[in-house]
Structure 1
Amino acid sequence: MKSITHTEKRGFLFLAIVLLISLFFGYSDVTYFDTKIAQEDGAVEYSTAILLVCISILCFYRFFTTSKNKSWFWKLGTLGFALLFLFGAGEEISWGQRIFNIESSEFFLKNNAQNETNLHNLVVGDTKINKLIFSQLLMVVMVVYLIIIPLIYRKSEWVRNLVNKFAVPVVQWHHTIAFLATTVLVTLIPSSRKWEVYELAFGLIFLLIFLNPFNKEILPKN
């Protein structure tokens, strides 16, 4: 396991504090947890969006400052991550709908479970997109990314070259441990809004991964 940076130590400390507070109020006062800590348009939700934007900005910065020295595969991967996390941030806050007091269009009023302007709450037939893609499919992707890829990356030169070619940050084991521990602790919170805290943890840990990946060779050289 490579060394943990000071930034990561601060990030994990912040995450631990958030989890402890969430567990405490989740058990002692679930109403307070739902309406003050994990409420819609609250500090946790906006913090998640900010973290995702930070990852996007980091990727855009690397793309625009380093891409001329990199292959098209590296450019594609870096730009793809920048757009992906920007999309995630937009979805998290419904693209600023409530911030700017924008009414949902007729399409979203009819097809969105929460009448919001976003894709993850859409309902197609009897299927919720959020449950199918952003929960079940995402969980499979997370297992592959956090556990399977790091194992194969260390064993297979072909996989290592492919991952590095597309600038995919490989997690260090302390990132995986943090994610697994967070999953267990969040699951213990007796509130349906506990997943807002999980999304915050997702944003924070992924920011730390992109700042300090196992495969540092994909990062711009100073």
Structure 2
Amino acid sequence: MAEQKWYIHPVIAVGVLMNIFVMGLALAFSHDHDAMWRLLVEDGIVEWMQFLCFTLLSALLGFLAVEQWQREPKINLQLAAFVFLSALVGLAALEEISWFQRVLHIIPPDFFVQNNRQGETNLHNLALGKSSLHKAVLLKVIVIVGLTHTIFLPLLARKRPAIRTFVEKFGLYLPPVWPSLIYVGLVILSNVVVDHPRKGELGEVFGAVHYLTTVVAAYFFGVNYGKPPVFAPSRDSRNIATLFCLVLVFMLLIGWMLSAGAGAGAYIASHPGFGAE
């Protein structure tokens, strides 16, 4: 069903509130140099939250692929979309923490030491001219695709429902408009009011939370989605949605704990002058 009142579904509502909470942390820490670095540093709260969101989303998309195969055991666009997106998001999760390089204290191969702008074992920070692959190419693609998927197509679909039907034929979905507007608004706000060299991490975590919650709401509970969801509307589906909301809040707590342990805390302890410049 194409659900217009997105705010009545707890999964999306909690996702919006979590993003607002993170934005509130950034504003609260804006005058505290050390606290801001703990929030945005490599393996900090925001980065671990991105990893957890992407990892869970990849697993859920994989589950949807299996569910789709069980319902209809043949290769089609829906199955291909779930498999591709699961792999893509899983790659993003591993790239986010440099394939566990810092957690496991792995020395990067010579190729990455020489060609990665941050000396990390990942692809998105590979040098590309005077910039990195992420800034020169990936960021522009993400902005164009993100705005098209979250804003332009959902707005057009309100007047022309055939657009939603066309998108769903490819195994995709369109998120509700208002959560998307809030997400984009938070990204813009973070870039305007936050003065920090790593403020772009805020936009990335906003996107991770937004896509995790809207994917779950669409495919699992049928919010703003025309095909049959995994869970038909019932008391059990509402209970499952509530439990998922608890998982979201727990993920934020785990991200905070990881950043204080093997993540940002260890990084800061080994770099006493970090961020001084």
Report the TM-score, using the length of structure 2 for normalisation: 0.73
Q: How far does the alpha carbon of each residue in 1:11-64 deviate from its partner, in whole angstroms, 9 at most, with x for none? A: 2222212111101212x1234302x11111112211110001111111111111
After superposing on structure 2, the runs of 4+ consecutive aligned residues of structure 1 that deviate more than 6 Å are none
Rg larger for = 2
State the Cα RMSD in Å: 1.8
**2:68 aligned residue (44, 52, 66):** 66
User: Who is 2:79 aligned against?
Assistant: 75
The alignment status of 1:98 with 2:102, answered yes or no, reads yes
Identity %: 24
The answer (yes or no) to whether the contact 1:59–1:78 under 8 Å persists in 2 is yes
Give the aligned partner of residue 264 of structure 2: none
Distance (Å, rounded) in 2 between the aligned partners of 1:80 and 1:153: 24
Q: 10-19 or 106-115, which moves further after superposition?
A: 10-19
- Are the aligned partners of 2:150 and 2:175 in contact in 1 as well (CA < 8 Å)? yes
How many residue pairs align between the two structures? 219
State the alpha-carbon separation in 2 of the partners of residues 215 and 193 from structure 1.
35
Aligned to 1:30, which of 13, 28, 33? 33
Give the drift of 1:205.
0.6
Please state whether the residue corresponding to 2:141 is helix, strand or coil. helix
Q: Mark the CA change 1:105 to 1:212 in structure 2 (over 3 Å): closer, same or farther.
A: same
| 1:30–1:191 contact (8 Å) kept in structure 2 | no
SS at match of 1:101: coil
Question: Which residue, out of 103, 109, 115, partners 2:113?
Answer: 109
| CA offset digits 1:144-181 (Å, max 9, x no partner) | 11122213444162x43432122212110122122122
**Match runs of 1:80-159 below 5 Å:** 80-154=84-158, 155=160, 157=162, 159=163
* Residue of structure 1 in register with 2:236 after alignment: none
Q: Name the structure 2 match of 1:194.
A: 199
Distance 1:24 1:73, change over 3 A: same
- Find the aligned partners of 1:145 and 1:175 in 2 and give their Cα distance: 13
What aligned pairs does 1:4-15 form with structure 2 within 5 A after superposition? 4=7, 5-15=9-19
Match of 1:220 in 2: 230
Q: Structure 1's 80 and 185: CA in aligned 2 closer, same or farther, altered over 3 A?
A: same
- The aligned counterpart of 1:3 is 6
- Aligned residues of 1:78 and 1:167 also touching (Cα < 8 A): yes
Query: Given residue 139 of structure 1, which amino acid in structure 2 is its aligned partner?
Result: V
Whole-angstrom CA distance in 1 between matches of 2:66 and 2:16? 29
Unaligned runs of 5+ in 1: none
TM-score (structure 1 length as normaliser) = 0.90
